[in-house]
Copies of this chain bind each other. A is one copy, B any other.
Amino acid sequence: MAAQTILFDFTLDAGKTATSIQRQEVARIVRNELEHVFTQLELAYSMESMDNGYFSVLHENKETIITCRIFQQGLLTINVEYYLAAGKEPVLSLDTMRTMELILRQKLDSDRSKYLPPIKRGGYIDIYMTSSDERIIEYDIDTLVYEARSPFQKIQILHSKTLGNMLILDELQNIAESDLIYTETLMGRGIENYEGKEICILGGGDGALLYELLKEKPKHVVMLEIDELVMQACNKYLSSICGDVLEKRKTDQYEIIVGDCVDYMKKFIAEGRKFDYVFGDLTDIPISDAPIGECWDFIRTIFEHSFQLLKPDGKYLTHGNGTSCLESLQLFEEQLRLLKPKVKFTTTKAFVPSFMEEWLFYQVTFA
């Protein structure tokens, strides 16, 4: 189904790989150990570098290709790569990998070593996603439930064995069935009182926020979502988090308007319409024609319009970013500080299961 890349590394005493003869000896030990696993192993190529480095290519039937590199800084890396056809057994089992690591570590007199489980490459479903601070996370995704391209974005519903169905927009995790905590933290459940209140949601196409808000008996909620197809997908595959709120576009309790939220905010402002709460529940990277560099301008535009829609004691509630993304959070808060009239804010945080990280949420009011 995919190519497998298996990465081993061993810390070496730099003094023990200073000469070409010493490096050849390390390479011999590695080759010797690899030959126990790959009985047809051949050396295809090797190269020495002037600064005490060594690199070689070994292979078995040109199918499993292994590169072995000694860095002058005292590190050996071994990369094993082969194609694993569907239904075939892996060339290296996890047990064999563990044994290889232990034996090589001992034979190389290495005091630290590491191997990673096989990295699967080229599979149709993408199981590797990144956290907001660019860390690699392998998900237990087993099915592509839905995929479509709307005029605005690529929409996928992927199924994770433990997180349930996940909404992925343009390769970014948005929300999953496991993420009630996301919605509850965004809305400050148990802290805010929504009874009888007028609420506007910007975005929110997954329907989870609308669904949870309606349980708290607000007077009325209006939701401005641009992407009809996202709502159709979520209505069908994420009903455990959005209930049946995406079934209808208008009831006595709420109205879902399909369109650009900025246009409708302008319309509401012109009409003098005011809300107790405005929610910023848009995706991270704004859906607009603007280049990414103008992303912060867009976010500020959203803020400015939102505050024009708020009653004097109203609140703007939104998500920030992963709490490890200090730089991005600082830029976000800078935009808040630029607002006129002045605003003040508090934050809350929650570990969001499908993001695999802690996320920061903002509660903004007039200063």
Contacts and interface: CB of A to CB of B under 8 A. Distances in A.
A310 to B, nearest CB: 31
Nearest to A133: B140
Interface stretch (A47-55, A234-242, A253-261): A47-55
A121 B9 contact: yes
A119 B136 CA distance: 8
A328 B353 CA distance: 22
Contact of A353 (B44, B47, B122, B351): B351
Nearest to A73: B83
A81 to B, nearest CB: 7
A3 interface: yes
B122 A3 contact: no
Nearest to A161: B324
Contacts of A351: 162, 178, 351, 353
A182 to B, nearest CB: 12
A57 B136 CA distance: 26
Interface stretch (A64-72, A186-194, A197-205, A338-346): A64-72
A138 interface: yes
A44 B44 contact: no
Contacts of A47: 44-45, 57, 59, 62
A283 interface: no
B117 A135 contact: yes
A139 to B, nearest CB: 7
A162 B243 CA distance: 32
Interface stretch (A28-36, A123-131, A300-308): A123-131
A324 B63 CA distance: 32
Interface string A154-196: 0000000111000000000000001000000000000000000
Contact of A49 (B49, B63, B140): B63
A323 B353 CA distance: 14
Contact of A121 (B7, B49, B131): B7
A71 B83 contact: yes
Contacts of A122: 9, 11, 71, 73, 75, 77, 114
A145 interface: no
A116 B137 CA distance: 10
Given A49-B63, A79-B81, 12 more contacts: A51-B63, A55-B62, A69-B81, A71-B122, A112-B124, A116-B136, A117-B134, A128-B136, A162-B322, A178-B358, A351-B351, A351-B353
Interface of A: 2-3, 5, 7, 9, 11, 44-45, 47, 49-51, 53, 55, 57, 59, 62-63, 65, 67, 69, 71, 73, 75, 77, 79, 81, 83, 85, 94, 112, 114, 116-117, 119, 121-122, 124, 126, 128, 130-131, 133-140, 161-163, 178, 322-324, 351, 353, 356-358
Cβ-closest 3 pairs across A and B: A49-B62, A135-B138, A75-B122
10 contacts: A3-B9, A3-B69, A55-B62, A79-B79, A116-B128, A117-B130, A117-B136, A135-B139, A161-B323, A162-B351
